[in-house]
């Protein structure tokens, strides 16, 4: 696994990504949905496994899932599991923050 620095640190992440929202990242040609729940960040494959919509256009919910804006499938941000087991689970990526920056593991 390779850690890729995407932001200068947690302060920048907190400023750029509001609670309950998502943002698209393209890192090494991979589309990743970065999501924030309270002050915690999660990274998950961006392409919905149902029909390919971008999850970074969706929202998070109170149980820690990202909700696809097209047909409402829900994916657990920690495990990538689709809540209704109707489509394949998504890949998740570790996130780490230290004094040198904010990183995603690929
Ligand atoms: S494309 Fe995501 S739920 Fe259908």
Judged against a pLDDT cut of 90, whether residue 91 lies above it is answered with yes
Contact 70, 58 (CB under 8 A): no
Percent of the chain clearing pLDDT 70 (strictly above): 100
Mean pLDDT (the chain, rounded) = 95
Q: Name the residue of 61, 73, 75, 84 to mutate for ligand 1: max ligand atoms within 8 A of Cβ.
A: 73
**3-34 residue pLDDT tens:** 999 999 989 999 999 998 899 999 999 999 99
Atom of ligand 1 nearest to the CA of 51: 1
pTM score, two decimals? 0.94
CATH number of the structural domain spanning residue 42: 2.102.10.10
pLDDT score, position 76: 98
- Edge to edge, what strands does the sheet with 30-37 contain? 22-27, 30-37, 40-45, 92-93
Beta-strand pair 59-60/40-45: unpaired
Judged against a pLDDT cut of 90, whether residue 100 lies above it is answered with yes
**55-66 residue pLDDT tens:** 999 999 999 999
Residue 34, domain extent: 3-105
Both tokens of 59, joined, read 């929202």
């Amino acid at each position: 696994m390779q850690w890729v620095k995407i932001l200068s640190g947690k302060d920048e992440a907190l400023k750029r990504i509001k609670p309950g929202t998502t943002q698209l990242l393209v890192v090494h040609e991979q589309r990743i949905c970065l999501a924030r729940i309270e002050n915690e960040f999660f990274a998950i494959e961006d392409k919905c496994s149902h029909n390919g919509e971008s999850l970074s256009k969706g929202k998070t919910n109170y149980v820690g899932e990202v909700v696809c804006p097209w047909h409402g499938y829900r994916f657990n941000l920690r495990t990538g599991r689709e809540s209704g087991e109707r489509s394949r689970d998504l890949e998740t990526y570790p996130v780490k923050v230290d004094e040198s920056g904010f990183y995603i593991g690929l």
